């Protein structure tokens, strides 16, 4: 009797093998040397037994620039790495190429100037829960000679504001989201925003309006090495102005344009005044100046301006 029972349990276990969940990790790149570190960190992930990973590298350069490099880095890896040439100079084209090439149950995005700890994907997976997407923090790493006012304000890190729950949008720098069978599987990144930026803000906002629920992961963070080109006041100013336009791009849909404009104008004036008041403090002056520029961006977009200012340097 015991023998028959043992055989039944063995056969029952063999008939219920759980297939691993497939995740496509997407990396969009544009002629960046940092792709090496990013790709190696992704291939070095420690995954639980219920997860299986595939990697997609979408090259946004006009000509094939990294296919040989990708092949060399992944040559000794057991993980399947797919290279897609998705030209040119429009990040939305590369992101959409990843979406179209994905076949996993879930998709994760990480930028080519970021690198991940070995437990990154496992932590995102653990924190996804019942959400349709979960966003992790992006922690900036500054060079030793970076301006102190930028470092002290930590402008380049991306941290979700937990006070703003429920999240109505997100970013593609560090995200894991449901894909296969999801009601938003046909959504794509807006090509008109692929140069100026804000394409990910718009994309996830549209997913939100389709009923997608978003969460955050405190432990599923990645690091971003900040290059010297992004440490000037001019670059920071354009980035903040563009961020304001991106914010207004989605806010106009739920707030009257004139009301948004008036509120942003008042905030930009107040922030500019504070920048003058704290002129002797580089940190405070920089904080309020960037805040003023953000709200100026909101003003220009809320009154119907279609002009979107591209950031300096690479677009990714």
Phi and psi based region of residue 31 (left: phi greater than 0; alpha: psi -120 to 50; beta: remaining): left
Domain regions of the chain by residue span = 21-230, 233-302
pLDDT of residue 235: 93
C-alpha span between 52 and 72 (Å, rounded): 21
Sort strands 106-111 and 21-29 into parallel, antiparallel or unpaired.
parallel
Q: What is the pLDDT of residues 15-56, one digit of tens each?
A: 556 788 999 999 999 989 899 999 999 999 999 999 999 999
Query: DSSP letter string over 73-141?
Result: HHTT-SSEEEEEE--SS-HHHHHHHHHHH--SSEEEEEETTEE--TTHHHHHHHHHTT-SEEEEEEEEE
Q: What is the pLDDT of residue 245?
A: 84
Q: Which residues of the chain have pLDDT under 50?
A: 1-13, 163, 305-316
CATH of domain 21-230: 3.90.550.10
Structure tokens at 291: 């805040």
**Can you tell me the distance from the alpha carbon of 292 to that of 287, in angstroms, rounded to the nearest whole number?**
9
> What confidence score (pLDDT) does residue 316 get?
38
Residues 6+ apart with CB under 8 A from 101: 24, 56, 58, 82, 84
Range 188-202 burial, b when 16+ CB lie within 10 A, else e? ebbeebbebbbbbbb
């Amino acid at each position: 009797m015991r023998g028959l029972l043992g055989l039944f349990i063995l056969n029952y276990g063999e008939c219920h093998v759980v297939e691993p969940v497939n995740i496509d990790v997407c990396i969009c790149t544009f002629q960046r040397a940092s792709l090496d570190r990013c790709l190696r960190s992704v291939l070095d992930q420690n995954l639980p037994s219920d997860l299986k990973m595939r990697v997609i590298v979408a090259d946004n350069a006009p000509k094939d620039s990294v296919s040989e490099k990708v092949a060399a880095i992944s040559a000794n890896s057991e993980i399947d790495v797919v290279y897609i040439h998705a030209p040119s100079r429009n990040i939305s084209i590369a992101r959409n190429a990843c979406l179209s090439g994905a076949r996993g149950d879930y998709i994760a995005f990480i930028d080519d100037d970021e690198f991940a700890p070995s437990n990154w994907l496992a932590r995102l997976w653990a924190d996804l829960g019942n959400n349709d997407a979960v966003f992790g923090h992006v922690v900036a790493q500054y060079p030793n000679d970076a301006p102190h006012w930028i470092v002290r304000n930590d402008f380049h890190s991306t941290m979700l504001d937990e006070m703003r729950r429920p999240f109505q949008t997100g970013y593609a720098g560090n995200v894991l989201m449901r894909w296969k069978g999801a009601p938003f599987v046909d959504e794509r990144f807006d090509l008109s925003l692929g140069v100026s930026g804000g394409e990910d803000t718009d994309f996830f906002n549209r997913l939100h309006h389709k009923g997608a629920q978003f969460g955050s992961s405190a432990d599923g963070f990645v690091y971003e090495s900040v290059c010297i080109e992004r440490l000037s006041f001019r670059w920071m100013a354009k980035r903040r102005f563009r961020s304001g336009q991106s914010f207004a791009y989605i806010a106009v849909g739920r707030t009257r344009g004139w009301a948004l404009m008036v509120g942003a104008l008042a905030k930009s004036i107040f922030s500019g005044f504070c920048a003058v008041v704290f002129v002797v403090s580089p940190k405070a002056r920089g904080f309020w100046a960037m805040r003023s520029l953000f709200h100026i961006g909101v003003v220009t977009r809320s009154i119907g301006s279609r002009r979107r200012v591209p950031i300096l340097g690479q677009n990714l």
